[in-house]
Chain A
């Protein structure tokens, strides 16, 4: 891997408003150009927070961000004003989980895409509208011309998510963030949207980070998987390696819950026990209270993230030691 497109180093995010939480605790993550990464983990493990941090979408006054965050050679935490606006949507953009909530209900789809294009490029209204219409056609919305003038509530869920993707890709971002882009949709539509995302990724060569609860979807779409637990990346590696030879006890637990029984499309079943309170993390490995392998050391010291080649792992007693992928 040459210089990665995305590089997160010891990224920590603390919310210190009315709800206190250490949502991210020294996350380390790298992503190359054109790579597709799936973020996996239980509810509350910090997947959405990671994506929102990449766009600096947290309320500024009540959020403390530490560590380093580099995207496309830019120090994202140092961006301000116009540079930040251009970065958002221009370099990195986001597909939200609920397209019904992520569109402004009182502007048409076309107006919103056009507005977004004009916020990033100095072109006139007519040219921006033409580009916006082209985007709608590219995400395979039938009768795109008519949909262009439709309000969000006039489209079906699947069409709305396609429009959301068109909106996100309108300014040719280098990185697309997709937070459970299909969870809110019907099963058949889910697959279509995933295939569309994969196809657009291949066409444009952009990188994608997508959050999913569906390991089947991760296997289908992603090159790599990163598993998160209590605001940390505990294991990551190529899809095949993670799925076939999980090394972290938590990853193994997650997979046992779904892959073994081959019930694709099912959300991850909970590993026994519940995640720790993010306002009061245990001193050692945060998975220790639920881990069968846990030792004294696990309870005392946080296991560091060790990297070998494509893989990374944070565990004192892994199921298998890290080794170069066969």
Chain B
């Protein structure tokens, strides 16, 4: 097992490196000049040159990348062009907000998805199955931002139950587990949970329906097990796959939250990314993309390591 973990870790290194290259280069492929954001359009030539050298933009791209990577490894992602604050600090505070949002959305989505999916799988072919399938299809195909807007109109404007904007008092950096903050979390988390809910419902339904057809489930019944006892076996057999799918969903939520965060002005990475793009804030953009991608790499690594712990059949080689 230990060797397996080490091997996985080593595999992750080249992936992580390519991620840094992509995060760095991608920004240069986009049209537009970052200097437009800081320098007035009619700035004299010397000012532009000075600015370029101040931000290191005058060096060749590979050199820029090397310097950037060297600093990134030490936790320094540069300074935001727009705000002048350290990118690392901005990104970390945004990441924690997004994690909170994505985590809650995933928790809710996976929980409801598991329940709906298990019901549908057990009642394969009945009206319960059809209702669950319709819900999951709607969940997967409904546009996020549209749902966010509808929820805002209904639960924020018509029925003033939940606030529509922000993360609560204290702004982006002072999250507290109190009613006031949680009320701000409800609508964005609900909006975001719909996709993992739909996907998990579909996954669990298919897995459970398939599992119930397996000979070993017949064999369990044949030895007098039923109800909860059989369900325990089904749950343990489906858990590795559900875990893998759920893990990836949390990852997608980190990315998928861009629009939802924008709709609800939730101060997370999506919101930050949005701001960075519109302000052509290159260091901030690179830093945010890098952290998001790294998050995916680590998530995949975790799923890879956890799966064989749950499922004894998966080789440890």
A contact residues vs B (CB 8 Å cutoff): 52, 55, 57, 84-90, 93-94, 96, 98, 101-107, 115-116, 119-120, 151, 153, 167-168, 171
**Of all chain A residues, which has the CB nearest B233?**
A104
Question: Are B224 and A57 in contact, CB atoms less than 8 angstroms apart?
Answer: no
The 5 closest A-B pairs by CB, nearest first: A89-B223, A89-B224, A101-B215, A102-B219, A88-B224
B229 within 8 A of A: yes
Question: Are B226 and A151 in contact, CB atoms less than 8 angstroms apart?
Answer: no
Question: Are B225 and A85 in contact, CB atoms less than 8 angstroms apart?
Answer: yes
Residue of B221, B237, B311 most packed against chain A (CB within 10 A): B221
Task: Supply 10 further A-B pairs (C-beta < 8 A) apart from A88-B222, A101-B215, A106-B237.
Answer: A55-B221, A85-B226, A89-B222, A93-B223, A94-B219, A96-B215, A105-B216, A151-B313, A168-B223, A171-B224
A-B contact pairs, 12 of them (CB 8 A): A57-B218, A57-B222, A88-B221, A89-B224, A94-B223, A102-B215, A103-B216, A104-B233, A105-B312, A105-B313, A115-B229, A116-B223
**CB neighbours of B224 from chain A (8 A):** 85-90, 116, 119-120, 171
**CB neighbours of A105 from chain B (8 A):** 216, 237, 312-313
Question: Are B225 and A106 in contact, CB atoms less than 8 angstroms apart?
Answer: no
**Of all chain A residues, which has the CB nearest B312?**
A151
* Minimum CB–CB distance for A134 against chain B, Å: 17
Question: Are A96 and B219 in contact, CB atoms less than 8 angstroms apart?
Answer: yes
Complex interface residues of chain B between 205 and 224 (CB less than 8 A to chain A)? 214-216, 218-224
**Distance between Cα atoms of A93 and B225 in the complex (Å):** 12
**CB neighbours of A52 from chain B (8 A):** 218
B236 within 8 A of A: yes
**CB neighbours of B237 from chain A (8 A):** 104-106
**CB neighbours of B218 from chain A (8 A):** 52, 57, 102
**CB neighbours of A168 from chain B (8 A):** 223
Interface size on B, residues (CB 8 A): 20
**Of all chain B residues, which has the CB nearest A85?**
B224
**Distance between Cα atoms of A57 and B311 in the complex (Å):** 27
**Distance between Cα atoms of A151 and B310 in the complex (Å):** 13
Question: Are B219 and A106 in contact, CB atoms less than 8 angstroms apart?
Answer: no
**Of all chain B residues, which has the CB nearest A51?**
B222
**CB neighbours of A167 from chain B (8 A):** 223
Question: Are A101 and B222 in contact, CB atoms less than 8 angstroms apart?
Answer: no
**Distance between Cα atoms of A313 and B223 in the complex (Å):** 34
* Minimum CB–CB distance for B122 against chain A, Å: 12
With beta carbons under 8 angstroms apart, the residue of B216, B229, B312 that contacts A119 is B229
**Distance between Cα atoms of A98 and B216 in the complex (Å):** 10
* Minimum CB–CB distance for B310 against chain A, Å: 8
Interface membership of chain B positions 162-190, coded 1 if the CB is closer than 8 angstroms to chain A and 0 otherwise:
00000000000000000000000000000
Question: Are B236 and A107 in contact, CB atoms less than 8 angstroms apart?
Answer: yes
Question: Are A106 and B215 in contact, CB atoms less than 8 angstroms apart?
Answer: no
Question: Are A57 and B221 in contact, CB atoms less than 8 angstroms apart?
Answer: yes
**Distance between Cα atoms of A307 and B220 in the complex (Å):** 37
**Distance between Cα atoms of A319 and B233 in the complex (Å):** 52
**CB neighbours of B313 from chain A (8 A):** 105-106, 151, 153
**Distance between Cα atoms of A278 and B302 in the complex (Å):** 52
**Of all chain A residues, which has the CB nearest B238?**
A106
**Distance between Cα atoms of A27 and B82 in the complex (Å):** 85
**Of all chain A residues, which has the CB nearest B213?**
A59
* Minimum CB–CB distance for B229 against chain A, Å: 7
Question: Are A88 and B312 in contact, CB atoms less than 8 angstroms apart?
Answer: no
* Minimum CB–CB distance for B18 against chain A, Å: 35
With beta carbons under 8 angstroms apart, the residue of B223, B226, B312 that contacts A106 is B312
**Distance between Cα atoms of A84 and B220 in the complex (Å):** 13
Question: Are B222 and A106 in contact, CB atoms less than 8 angstroms apart?
Answer: no
Complex interface residues of chain B between 259 and 317 (CB less than 8 A to chain A)? 310-313
**Of all chain A residues, which has the CB nearest B126?**
A61
**Distance between Cα atoms of A91 and B237 in the complex (Å):** 28
**CB neighbours of A89 from chain B (8 A):** 222-225
**Of all chain A residues, which has the CB nearest B218?**
A57
**CB neighbours of B219 from chain A (8 A):** 94, 96, 102-104
With beta carbons under 8 angstroms apart, the residue of B220, B221, B222, B226 that contacts A104 is B220
Interface membership of chain B positions 227-245, coded 1 if the CB is closer than 8 angstroms to chain A and 0 otherwise:
0010001001100000000
**Distance between Cα atoms of A57 and B220 in the complex (Å):** 10
Question: Are B236 and A106 in contact, CB atoms less than 8 angstroms apart?
Answer: yes
**Of all chain B residues, which has the CB nearest A154?**
B312
**CB neighbours of B220 from chain A (8 A):** 104
**Distance between Cα atoms of A87 and B225 in the complex (Å):** 11
* Minimum CB–CB distance for B259 against chain A, Å: 39
Residue of A96, A106, A168 most packed against chain B (CB within 10 A): A106
**CB neighbours of A96 from chain B (8 A):** 215, 219, 222
